[in-house]
């Protein structure tokens, strides 16, 4: 499916779509189906004033010359999302803890959340606690007693050093003790499951009593999510903790996937795709994740960000991050802000007054 639309014409169409997009709230709306529209009130924060933003995601400060990518808002079909309201968020979560658990994509979303809160109330005081041993960082907004934490955890399940080497254990999870006190948990894992060679942090994979030198990584990922789900069922109270799973954040390294075979990667992409659905295939891990989540008895909400993120071929750091070409992570401000707008709407969807 080849795209022959001139980029300037694509911007024109996006502006027209923005004008015609629905704004009526519909009961039962699927907030993950829709399209990207131009919104001149975006971005949700100024990167130059966010004290939390790290160099790897700060594309503006790293010299990205095009800024149109900052001006897009996700518009679900048939309804509208409540805009993120920082004071309301802080008030509703007074004395509570929200923790993001996962790899660098979780960090992407966590930093976005911190910037969104700070932009809403720049005067809010905060303190930071960093634990190198536990690999956690927590910002506490002192006036509200709200903790916004991040636990760096690549696979959720354990990697254990044994005589034979480092073993990724698909049916063992001990890090959960760090998550027990959180009121809202947002989990994520997938980004590292296909790592091989020197960057792979394990030597073997153990499934039950069997130890393998390697196995299908998508299958292994699904087994790990099932193990995580068993931990959730056994340890988290429905009345205390709301659990979310971030979903599968996509990469854009092959232009043929989105109809631009001459594009070798996300480099040079300045605006989203016009489509409401991605022309290429979804990451295979998405279907496995959805099937694995169905094995969990307690409520877990999937933050199904894959399709809307697939459309954002323009949203990656590309050459304006830390890597030579990074088409996996996301610029901030940018796409993870929308993940947090969706999370905000889902966290309080049972309440009428957001």
Task: Evaluate whether residue 183 is within a structural domain.
Answer: yes
Question: What is the predicted pLDDT for the residue at 25?
Answer: 37
The full DSSP string for 263-305 is --SSTT--S--S-SS-SSPPPHHHHHHHHHHTT-SS-EEE---
Indicate which CATH number applies to the domain containing 142. Answer: 3.40.50.1110
Pick the closest to residue 224 from 83, 315, 102 (CA basis): 102
- pLDDT at position 99: 98
36-95: pLDDT as tens digits: 999 999 999 999 999 999 999 999 999 999 999 999 999 999 888 999 999 999 999 999
Coil, strand or helix at 290: helix
Task: Choose the catalytic residue: 82, 104, 256, 282.
Answer: 104
CA distance linking residue 275 with residue 271, whole number of Å = 12
- Going by C-alpha positions, the residue among 170, 168, 176 that lies closest to residue 151 is 176
Give a yes or no: residue 118 inside a domain: yes
Per-residue pLDDT reduced to its tens digit, 297-307: 999 999 999 99
Question: Is residue 326 annotated as a catalytic residue, yes or no?
Answer: yes
Q: Residue 114 domain-assigned?
A: yes
220 within domain boundaries: yes
**pLDDT, position 22:** 40
CB atoms near residue 65 (< 10 Å) = 8
Q: Of 106, 292, 329, 337, which one is the catalytic site residue?
A: 329
Domain annotation covers residue 3: no
Told to judge if 304 belongs to the known catalytic residues of this protein, a careful annotator would answer no
Beta-ladder partners of 158: 169
To the query of whether residue 104 is one of the catalytic residues in this protein, the response is: yes
**59 is a domain residue:** yes
Assess if residue 308 is contained within a domain. Answer: yes
**Domain boundaries, position 126:** 34-349
pLDDT computed for residue 354 by the predictor: 39
DSSP code of 302? Answer: E
Answer whether 28's CB lies under 8 Å from 76's CB.
no
Q: What is the pLDDT of residue 350?
A: 55
Burial class (CB in 10 A: 0-12, 13-18, 19+), 215: middle
Q: Is residue 5 part of a domain?
A: no
CA distances from 71 to 5, 79, 334 (A): 20, 20, 9
The residues of the chain scoring below 50 in pLDDT are: 1-5, 13, 16-27, 352-354
Please tell me which residue in 103, 158, 304, 326 is annotated as part of the active site.
326
Among 175, 215, 222, 171, which residue's Cα sits nearest to residue 196?
215
Write out pLDDT tens, residues 238-260: 999 999 999 999 999 999 999 99
What SS3 class is residue 336?
helix
Number of separate domains in the chain = 1
């Amino acid at each position: 499916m080849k795209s022959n639309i001139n980029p300037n014409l694509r911007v024109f169409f996006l502006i027209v779509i923005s004008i015609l997009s629905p704004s009526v709230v519909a009961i039962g709306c699927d907030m993950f189906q829709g399209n990207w529209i131009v919104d001149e009130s975006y971005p949700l924060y100024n990167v130059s004033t966010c004290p939390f933003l790290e160099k790897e995601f700060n594309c503006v400060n790293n010299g990205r010359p095009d800024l149109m990518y900052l001006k897009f808002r996700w518009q679900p079909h048939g309804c509208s999302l409540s805009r993120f309201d920082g004071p309301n968020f802080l008030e509703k979560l007074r004395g509570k803890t929200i923790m993001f658990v996962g790899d660098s994509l979780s960090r992407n979303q966590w930093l976005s959340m911190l910037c969104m809160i700070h932009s809403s109330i720049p005067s809010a005081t905060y303190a930071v606690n960093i634990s190198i041993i536990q690999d956690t960082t927590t910002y506490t907004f002192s006036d509200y007693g709200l903790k916004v934490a991040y636990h760096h955890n690549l696979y959720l399940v354990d990697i254990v050093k044994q005589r034979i080497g480092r073993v990724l254990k698909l049916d063992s999870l001990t890090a959960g003790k760090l998550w027990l006190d959180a009121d809202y948990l947002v989990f994520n894992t997938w980004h590292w499951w296909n790592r091989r060679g020197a960057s792979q942090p394990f030597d073997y994979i153990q499934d039950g009593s069997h130890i393998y030198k390697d196995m299908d990584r998508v299958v292994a990922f699904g087994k790990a999510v099932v193990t995580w789900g068993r931990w959730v069922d056994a340890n988290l109270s429905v009345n205390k903790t709301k659990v979310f799973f971030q979903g599968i954040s996509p990469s854009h390294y092959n232009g043929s996937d989105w109809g631009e075979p001459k594009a070798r990667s996300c480099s040079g992409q300045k605006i989203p795709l016009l489509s409401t659905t991605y022309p290429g295939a979804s990451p295979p891990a998405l279907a496995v994740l959805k099937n694995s989540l169905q094995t969990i008895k307690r409520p877990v909400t999937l933050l199904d960000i894959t399709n809307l993120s697939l459309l954002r071929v323009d949203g990656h750091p590309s050459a304006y991050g830390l890597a030579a070409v990074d088409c996996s992570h996301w610029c901030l401000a940018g796409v993870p802000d929308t993940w947090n707008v969706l999370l905000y709407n889902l966290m309080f969807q049972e309440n009428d007054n957001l």
